[in-house]
A and B are shown apart, each in its own frame.
Chain A
Amino acid sequence: DGGITQSPKYLFRKEGQNVTLSCEQNLNHDAMYWYRQDPGQGLRLIYYSQIVNDFQKGDIAEGYSVSREKKESFPLTVTSAQKNPTAFYLCASSIRGQGRWDNPEAFFGQGTRLTVV
């Protein structure tokens, strides 16, 4: 089955530790995204990538880092510089909407709930 997989579903870390969230897709999508979801704030874009070996900062990139070494994978590292990392994180992928008939649609993973104690 084609889809997008995030792991783990729940993650606990001590304050000051870096942690990496996994995101893998087998949909052959070029574009991938990371969002953070907090109550009342919707989905805020952290980083996105249009193609392998390239990525751009979203609206709240501070304290986060990503890599895009393979088309299928877009891991997110939450660093100790992120002041309030406890949140629900969503990864998504999509075809690129380059043409009028591409009909892009973002497919989402099940999310990772990160709790920093």
Chain B
Amino acid sequence: AQTVTQSQPEMSVQEAETVTLSCTYDTSESNYYLFWYKQPPSRQMILVIRQEAYKQQNATENRFSVNFQKAAKSFSLKISDSQLGDTAMYFCAFMVISTDKLIFGTGTRLQVFP
């Protein structure tokens, strides 16, 4: 069985600072994707960043980057130059390529303060 663990229920950061959200996962599969999704107060789920497991290079999307450690099964999200609009729930997710099963962690609530 696959599991996704987010050990930080809540985080806070001051505007313009950097924050890192943690995620670990457990699987015996070798081919999979990892994602970070953002859920603002509107509750609309938005893809932040995606990482293919076979790629060693860490994915980046503007102010968002990941630290993917495959051996450690760790997939943390770094948000640089935090903005008020980054305030949201952040979910780490995992998709097994062979089954398309997509599972999520319990989420981290991020609050960005002015």
**Co-complex (A, B):** yes
User: Which residues of A are interface residues toward B (Cβ below 8 A)?
Assistant: 30-31, 33, 35, 40-45, 48, 50, 56, 58-59, 88, 90, 92, 94, 96-98, 100, 103-106, 108, 110-111
Q: Bound complex: CA of A40 vs CA of B99, how far in Å? A: 27
Q: Contact: A48 with B91, CB < 8 Å?
A: no
Q: Contact: B45 with A92, CB < 8 Å?
A: yes
Nearest chain B CB to A92 CB, angstrom units: 7
Q: Contact: A40 with B106, CB < 8 Å?
A: yes
Instruction: Take A40-B9, A43-B91, A110-B43 as given contacts and tell me if A35 and B104 are in contact as well, using a CB distance cutoff of 8 Å.
Output: yes
Query: Which residue among A48, A50, A97, A100 has the maximum number of chain B CB atoms within 10 Å of its CB?
Result: A97
Q: Contact: A97 with B103, CB < 8 Å?
A: no
A110: chain B residues at CB < 8 Å are 43-44
Query: Quick one: which of A40, A42, A48, A103 contacts B100, CB cutoff 8 A?
Result: A48
Instruction: Take A90-B45, A97-B95, A111-B43 as given contacts and tell me if A42 and B50 are in contact as well, using a CB distance cutoff of 8 Å.
Output: no
Residues of chain B at interface, number, CB under 8 A: 25
Within B64-108, which residues are at the interface with A (CB < 8 Å)?
Answer: 91, 93, 95, 97, 99-107
Nearest chain A CB to B83 CB, angstrom units: 22
Instruction: Take A40-B9, A98-B97 as given contacts and tell me if A88 and B43 are in contact as well, using a CB distance cutoff of 8 Å.
Output: yes
A42: chain B residues at CB < 8 Å are 6, 91, 104-107
Query: Which residue among B33, B54, B104 has the maximum number of chain A CB atoms within 10 Å of its CB?
Result: B104
Q: Bound complex: CA of A23 vs CA of B77, how far in Å? A: 30
Provide a sorted-by-A list of 15 A–B residue pairs whose CB atoms are within 8 angstroms.
A35-B104, A40-B106, A41-B106, A42-B6, A43-B104, A48-B100, A56-B99, A94-B95, A94-B100, A97-B95, A97-B100, A104-B95, A106-B35, A106-B37, A108-B44
Q: Bound complex: CA of A96 vs CA of B99, how far in Å? A: 9
